Amino acid sequence: MLLAIDCGNTNTVFSIWDGETFLCTLRTSTHHARTADAYFTWFSTLINHYGIKTDITEVIISSTVPRVVWNLRVFADRFFDCRPMVVGKPECLLPHLPRVDAGTQVGPDRLVNTAGAFDRHGGDLIVVDFGTATTFDVVAHDGAYIGGVIAPGVNLSLEALHLAAAALPHVDISQPQKVIGTNTVECMQSGVFWGYVGLVREICARIRAEHDRPMQVIATGGLAPLFEQAANLFDVFEEDLTMHGLTVIHRYNKDNS
Ligand SMILES: Nc1ncnc2c1ncn2[C@@H]1O[C@H](COP(=O)(O)OP(=O)(O)O)[C@@H](O)[C@H]1O
Ligand SMILES: CC(C)(COP(=O)(O)O)[C@@H](O)C(=O)NCCC(=O)O
Ligand SMILES: [K+]
């Protein structure tokens, strides 16, 4: 069995893949100081709690936070007796090489999303991932990542208002009923929510105009469903896209090693 680990700047997600389905998905906050032993204590507690029978022999990691990789490597080595594949490292092959400026480091999560989306939908895609940042990954007709857009994340934008302005409270995102807010919280939610709808629409339209081939928009990330309900922004929402991409890259490496 494969343990796929997707470490974002806010959360780290672990999924167990038995070759056909994900047996479970577990989420913890990202902390670079968390030790391999701490990961295992947390992981084994939840696995036992859910009564999941696991036989993990392989691990693949994608991390947007370079500092956590060392402890995750120790975790894989100590508890599953394996050397993990780490996306972005030279020894981890990609089905399609990114076409970007020389020397550019593409976020591994974006390479993984590209692989996952191409496997399911073929090429000419915009993958929108609502994480700490909101990323738009452009997938060419042949499956290569060819660039994209990085925008501040939804919660980051709300938090920035709170941190920078003394009178603005911490607010959770939700879809306001109206655009014109009649209290501070509604005004903030309106600015971020409807501002975001506009951001996604405009960026996708401009990518489409530059790309000059028809494109599908695939959305992923915890907050995507909120926007899916509000406006016709995406063709598909796939919660497990990043995890699927990790299984695709893992299989590609097995087949080509
Ligand atoms: N289902 C959800 N509902 C509401 N907020 C969520 C949900 N999933 C994630 N978030 C929030 O969205 C932001 C991005 O989370 P996540 O997608 O885990 O980011 P990353 O991949 O960058 O770690 C965080 O602020 C997180 O708390
Ligand atoms: C843009 C990101 C911060 C998004 O990370 P996330 O929101 O998933 O935590 C990450 O993909 C990253 O660090 N990228 C490196 C720069 C690039 O992709 O061009
Ligand atoms: K992500």
Identify whether the C-beta of residue 30 lies closer than 8 Å to the C-beta of residue 37: no
Could you give the CA distance from residue 68 to residue 192 in angstroms, rounded to a whole number?
30
- Residue bearing the bigger pLDDT, 232 or 59: 59
Catalytic residue status for 240: no
Residue-level pLDDT at 212:
84
Stated pTM of the model: 0.97
**DSSP H helix total and E strand total for the chain:** 7, 10
Distance, in Å, from the CA atom of 62 to the CA atom of 112, rounded to the nearest integer, reads: 8
Summary mean pLDDT of the chain: 97
Phi, psi of 62 (to 5 degrees): -120, 130
Residue 228's pLDDT is: 86
HEC secondary structure over 9-41: CCEEEEEEECCCCEEEEEEEECCCCCCHHHHHH
pLDDT at 230: 80
What pLDDT is stored for residue 83 in this prediction? 98
The interface predicted TM-score (ipTM) is 0.94
- Catalytic pick among 77, 101, 109, 212: 109
Cα 55 to averaged position of ligand 3 atoms, centre (Å): 27
Does ligand 2 come within 6 angstroms of the Cβ of 173?
no
pLDDT in tens, 80-95: 999 999 999 999 999 9
Assign 105 a pLDDT band (cuts: 50, 70, 90).
very high
Question: Are 114 and 143 contacting, i.e. CB atoms less than 8 angstroms apart?
Answer: yes
- Which ligand is closest to the CA of 64, given by its number? 2
Q: Among 79, 70, 2, which Cα is nearest to 41's?
A: 79
Residues in the chain, overall count: 257
pLDDT recorded at residue 168: 98
pLDDT digits (tens, 9 = 90+) for 199-254: 999 999 999 999 989 999 999 998 999 998 888 899 999 999 999 999 999 999 99
**pLDDT at residue number 231:** 81
141 has pLDDT over 90: yes
Residue 229's pLDDT is what? 80
Residue 100: CB atoms within 10 A of its CB come to 14
**Hey, which of 223, 226, 227, 241 would you mutate to test ligand 1's pocket, going by the most ligand atoms within 8 Å of its Cβ?**
223
Residues with CB under 6 A from ligand 1: 8-11, 131-132, 153, 155, 221-223
Q: What pLDDT score was predicted for residue 160? A: 98
- Is residue 109 marked as binding? yes
CA of 130 to the centre of ligand 3 (A): 7
